[in-house]
Amino acid sequence: MNEILQERLQRLNEDRALLEAIHTIFNQQIELEKPNCDVGDTDEMLGQKFRAYVKAKEILNRTFIEIESFKFVKNNPKGFNKEK
């Protein structure tokens, strides 16, 4: 990932309200696409539908964990002196 994208993700991570709003919108969309149990569905079809739904939620959660990993690291040029 290039530096510009990393910087944008760092900025996004600083705005917790915006990050939460984006997460909520994605989560709502996944819930709207939650699989229905149709009359003609076999157990295998239901399993595939539910697995796709669960996988989408896992991907969303991992994505936001990854975004949260992009935080500004403040460098202390003098270092940390434990003896002080």
d(C-alpha 64, C-alpha 59), whole Å: 9
- Residues 14-63: tens digit of each pLDDT: 898 999 999 999 999 999 988 888 889 899 999 998 999 999 999 999 99
- Helix 43-68 and helix 16-32: axis angle, to 10°? 170
Token pair 């239901």 is found at: 46
From CA 43, how far away is CA 78, in angstroms rounded? Answer: 63
Q: What is the pLDDT of residue 32?
A: 92
> Is the pLDDT confidence value at 72 over 70?
no
pTM score, whole prediction? 0.69
